[in-house]
Structure 1
């Protein structure tokens, strides 16, 4: 006979919270839900979830409590009235936040006797629980070890990044920073193409194809940065400095704002001026974060 599945509580039924709660219900977990606007739970209740009227009831219902609300202030406001019910429970917070509020939340949860785990989810609601989704966790190793099979099944494959509860948030800020840098190049690129009448969809197809290939260079660049060895015979500072300067020159001639990419050219130019034009493109990092501590 199969062991009964872990009861789980979901606090917060925005797009991500609803998708998570639905995945739990569909996999057979006894699922308790709470949301500030109770009507959001109606479709979940129709499928078998249990709606409760207070957060305290929700916390008391399950050994695993997942919080998915707007921010850490909202999470703390929702949980504070139920503080007495948190002892002995695993509290998994997948709310987005910066490291300082994460550490404050973890300290508060520990004071209540809860095992706190912070999570950064890389998924849209439609990919929750699929192989495309993944999650980075930090905080209580005990909570991760006890519950990651459940979390992996309903959220996505999880990786434990360390016992400092803020580590998942730091990872998240870094990963999303890379994403927004990509978006900056995308917006500049489609604007430049548009000045010649090329539709955004037409330029996006080859852009995506090339970006997928270009991303394969990132692990090599990361190795250069961690080792401090920037010798290369391929993608040098000078090659990329000339290329980016040409892109910005063409854009300015067509009235395209260069503010998204000009700072990157500034890093390349600073490195070239210091005599590093033949070094790996990754050496631009040294101008961006001089003296930064490297891992290892």
Structure 2
């Protein structure tokens, strides 16, 4: 009981798999917790674990100064909080959304007298509250809110503040997830190539892990080149060579009866970069192809 007196009380709206994992972690750490979920039955187990269950979202918001949202989408946030007095509340939105939604929701909250921080969760529900699992949350928006509640926000996982632009948590979240899916695409293609051959997936797996780990240098290398604008210094495998070699990848896929649609977009992008100006781009590495992805003006300051 004594611990509860010194732990920040908070409200959590949304008890899906992630919300429930968050709730249990805060409860286990001794934080007085008020919960609400549109389907009330999902709160029953948490009530048995010490959570106070609010009958309405308005009641839940009124209960505490710190209100965390973990709902289906941004529209759900708007409909859930519609008409509720948010004056003086600190809103932490862990609902998955886009950078534009984060910025819009921050302005919406400010108009209603609330401070706002958007969050992007880089963890699965099973990683929440398990420090060794390495999960964390990106936060952006009100620095004052983040600093004030940092200890509470760090209970479920690491807390990484990425700027006062409310859209930057979602931007970081989606950037990392996009890279993840690109990696998954390449791995999926590799396994498809060996299907039906006398090559066991379990034998290929350690080779894939080793090779992808060795290629990890590209992350920092690309960042340096995009910053400097120099795509030609100390290039090991130039764009001309890589475009020529890409034909082997496509012919092998055809021979194996594998659809190459998971890798052709990147190969096509390299070829487009080379063909735009062979004399200028042949000696580059592949990083220059990234500049072709920004097809129209956007928020980016560098204007890739």
Same fold (TM over 0.5): yes
3-state secondary structure, aligned to 1:42: helix
Q: Aligned pair count? A: 293
1:98-139, Cα deviation, whole Å (9 max, x unpaired): 123222222221121111100001001111132501211111
Residue in 1 that maps onto 2:112: 112
3-state secondary structure, aligned to 1:268: helix
Residue in 2 that maps onto 1:221: 222
Residue in 1 that maps onto 2:36: 34
1:126-153, Cα deviation, whole Å (9 max, x unpaired): 1113250121111111111111121012
- Report the CA distance shift for 1:32/1:197 in structure 2 as closer, same or farther (over 3 A): farther
Give the alignment's Cα RMSD to 1 decimal.
2.2
3-state secondary structure, aligned to 2:260: coil
**TM-score, normalised by the number of residues in structure 1:** 0.91
Is the 1:7–1:62 contact (alpha carbons within 8 Å) kept by the matching residues of 2?
Answer: yes
Is the 1:232–1:278 contact (alpha carbons within 8 Å) kept by the matching residues of 2?
Answer: no
Q: Could you list the runs of 5+ residues in structure 2 that have no partner in the other structure?
A: none
CA distance in structure 1 between the aligned counterparts of 2:90 and 2:179, rounded to whole angstroms: 31
3-state secondary structure, aligned to 2:95: coil
By how many angstroms is 1:295 displaced?
8.4
CA distance in structure 2 between the aligned counterparts of 1:243 and 1:172, rounded to whole angstroms: 33
Asked if 1:47 is matched to 2:55, the reply is no
Is the 1:237–1:283 contact (alpha carbons within 8 Å) kept by the matching residues of 2?
Answer: no
Residue in 1 that maps onto 2:101: 101
1:14-71, Cα deviation, whole Å (9 max, x unpaired): 1110010000000000011111111212221111111111111111111211100110
CA distance in structure 1 between the aligned counterparts of 2:70 and 2:200, rounded to whole angstroms: 38
- Report the CA distance shift for 1:17/1:193 in structure 2 as closer, same or farther (over 3 A): same
3-state secondary structure, aligned to 1:10: strand
**TM-score, normalised by the number of residues in structure 2:** 0.89
Aligned pairs for 1:140-155 (under 5 A) are 140-154=142-156
CA distance in structure 2 between the aligned counterparts of 1:24 and 1:44, rounded to whole angstroms: 11
CA distance in structure 2 between the aligned counterparts of 1:22 and 1:243, rounded to whole angstroms: 52
CA distance in structure 2 between the aligned counterparts of 1:186 and 1:11, rounded to whole angstroms: 37
